[in-house]
Amino acid sequence: MSIIDQLAAIESAALASLHDITTIDALTAWKSDYLGKTGLIAKLSRELGALAAADRPAAGQRFNAVRASLDGAFAEREATVNAAAQGHAFASEALDVTLPGRPLTVGRLHPSTRVLRMITNIFAEMGFQVWESPEVETDTLNFELLNIPADHPARDMWDTFYIETPPGAEKVLLRTHTSPGQIHAMRAHAPNPVRVILPGKCFRYEQVSTRHEMMFHQVEGIAVGTNITFSDLKGTLIGFAERLYGSGIKTRFRPSYFPFTEPSVELDVECILCSGTGCRICKHSGWLEVSGAGMVHPDVLRNGGYDPAIYSGFAFGMGPERITMLRHGIDDIRWFFSGDERFLQQFI
**Domain check: are 127 and 265 in the same one?**
yes
Q: What is the C-alpha to C-alpha distance for residues 271 and 287, in angstroms, rounded to an integer?
A: 5
Q: What is the C-alpha to C-alpha distance for residues 80 and 78, in angstroms, rounded to an integer?
A: 5
**Domain check: are 156 and 279 in the same one?**
yes
**Domain check: are 118 and 61 in the same one?**
no
Residue 144: CB atoms within 10 A of its CB come to: 15
CB–CB of 163/173 below 8 Å?
A: yes
CB–CB of 222/233 below 8 Å?
A: no
Answer yes or no: is 106 within a domain: no
**Domain check: are 135 and 197 in the same one?**
yes
pLDDT at 158: 61
**Domain check: are 58 and 88 in the same one?**
yes
**Domain check: are 172 and 231 in the same one?**
yes
Number of domains in the chain: 2
pLDDT at 264: 96
SS3 label, residue 38: coil
**Domain check: are 18 and 167 in the same one?**
no
**Domain check: are 185 and 248 in the same one?**
yes
Q: For the chain, which residues score pLDDT lower than 70? A: 1, 49, 154-158, 280-281, 348
pLDDT at 154: 63
Residues 108-131 have pLDDT tens digits of 788 888 889 999 999 999 999 999
Phi/psi for 237 (5° steps) reads -75, -35
**Domain check: are 86 and 116 in the same one?**
no
- Residue-range definition of the domain harbouring residue 75: 3-92
Answer yes or no: is 97 within a domain: no
Domain boundary among the residues 59, 92, 125 is at 92
**Domain check: are 87 and 156 in the same one?**
no
Residues 33-87 have pLDDT tens digits of 888 877 887 777 777 767 777 777 777 787 788 788 888 888 888 888 888 888 8
Domain boundary among the residues 34, 63, 92 is at 92
Residue 126: CB atoms within 10 A of its CB come to: 15
Is the peptide bond between 263 and the residue preceding it cis, with omega within 30 degrees of 0? yes
**Domain check: are 56 and 143 in the same one?**
no
Answer yes or no: is 230 within a domain: yes
- CATH number of domain containing 134: 3.30.930.10
Answer yes or no: is 252 within a domain: yes
**Domain check: are 18 and 124 in the same one?**
no
Q: What is the C-alpha to C-alpha distance for residues 169 and 326, in angstroms, rounded to an integer?
A: 42
Answer yes or no: is 101 within a domain: no
Answer yes or no: is 22 within a domain: yes
Closest CA to 194 of 185, 203, 206: 185
Distance of CA 55 to the CA centre of its chain: 80
- Residue-wise DSSP of 73-96: HHHHHHHHHHHHHHHHHHHHT---
Domain boundary among the residues 33, 61, 92 is at 92
Answer yes or no: is 98 within a domain: no
